[in-house]
Structure 1
Amino acid sequence: MKVKRRNVWLLTLLSLVAVISVYYANEPKSLSLDGVSLFTDQAADILSNTDEDETTPVMAPSTLFEDMRLELQDERSQVREQLTSLIASDTATAEEKNEAYSKMEQLTKQSSAEAMLEMLIQSLGYSDAFVKTDGEKVYVHVQSEEESKALANEIIYTVRKEWENAREVSVQFDTND
């Protein structure tokens, strides 16, 4: 039985390598840059007319939201690993395996719903947003120049419209100070 599984995996991997090889063999070659101008004349004029004394401040985006996303992703990865090991376990019952599988599906749905809510909130005009759902609670962190009850109500309305299970929505503004 195990030999058949190994053969199936080996054949699957070999066919995948073959498909990728054919794809890259038939891919059009990259264009050479011989005699091709990378900049248009207008862009070249702008680049040549810059003053050396003129400086433009560059604002780095806040890493707070990226840190929160990475932390949440790490937590969920650990949960997925535990659930995967439970599913692969020989000692677990069929009910436990089904429950673990449904929890994994729920995590996937939750992650995709949070990503969708983040995009919707950003489409409202915010530079960045972080959404975390925990059952019926939704935590929203928004990067904004200003904060007001009207803006918070708009975010709460958007979240409740898209996330049916949202009973309690918490909005926190992170100003660019």
Structure 2
Amino acid sequence: MKMKRQTIWLLTMLSLVVVLSVYYVTTPDQMKTAGIMNMTSNNSLDSTPSKDTNKNDEGKETTSKEETTNEVFLKQRMEQEDKRAQLKEEFQTTIDSATASAEEKSQAFTSLKELQTLTALEADVETMIKESGYKDALVRADSNEVNVSVKSTKKHSKAAANEIIQMARSVLGEKLVIVTFQTK
């Protein structure tokens, strides 16, 4: 049991590194420099998340909406990865089990492959959305529904939502697609 926890922890950390690496590579150069400066100034290991605050003309502190949106996207992405990792572990445990029947092992193997395929397709849709000019996207699909959260600096419209729905359906099939815009 101890080895499995270590493996899950390691896979979670590796997936976090991959997500952050992709995010770093896809951000504009000006934001990379600012991100490095923020990382060096916020190097403490507090359990409370740090909030980016600004002072307005009256001297009151206001929380940056963009930082809050980034935290929400990161939290949702990590929750999704954790759930998927848990499902993969369950399927792998069934596949490796000496007591499971051949039918159970086959079903677990099929489910594992479907989950891996779904994860890859979600990443494809996210890439397509980002390439369309949006800051970030998070796609969460299940058997009959796709939830798409899009971070955008531009104002959203029905036409933009329809474009995203068509992108998701072209990759994930004819499912109910729910698009949520989060503006800066």
Offset from partner CA, 1:120-175 (integer Å, 9 cap, x none): 011110000000111121110000121211110111111112222x3211000011
Give structure 1 regions of 4+ aligned residues with deviation exceeding 2 angstroms.
Answer: 58-61
Give the letter aligned to residue 84 of structure 1: Q
* Residue equivalent to 2:129: 121
Aligned runs of 1:12-27 on 2, under 5 Å? none
2:148 equivalent to 1:148: no
Aligned length: 118
Give the whole-Å Cα distance in 1 for the aligned partners of 2:179 and 2:147: 6
Give the letter aligned to residue 117 of structure 1: V
Look up the SS of the partner of 1:62 in the other structure: helix
Give the letter aligned to residue 114 of structure 2: Q
> Which of 83, 92, 95 pairs up with 1:87?
95
* Residue equivalent to 2:72: 64
Shift of 1:85: 1.1
Report sequence identity in percent: 37
Give the whole-Å Cα distance in 1 for the aligned partners of 2:84 and 2:160: 30
Give the whole-Å Cα distance in 1 for the aligned partners of 2:76 and 2:85: 14
Any stretches of 5+ residues in structure 2 without a counterpart? 1-63
Structure index of larger Rg: 1
The structure whose residues are more often helix, as a share, is 2
> Which of 109, 113, 126 pairs up with 2:117?
109
Any stretches of 5+ residues in structure 1 without a counterpart? 1-57
Look up the SS of the partner of 2:114 in the other structure: helix
Give the whole-Å Cα distance in 2 for the aligned partners of 1:111 and 1:84: 16
Look up the SS of the partner of 1:91 in the other structure: coil
* Residue equivalent to 1:27: none
Give the whole-Å Cα distance in 2 for the aligned partners of 1:101 and 1:154: 35
Shift of 1:73: 0.6
Give the letter aligned to residue 164 of structure 2: I
Give the letter aligned to residue 178 of structure 2: S
Give the whole-Å Cα distance in 2 for the aligned partners of 1:93 and 1:174: 47
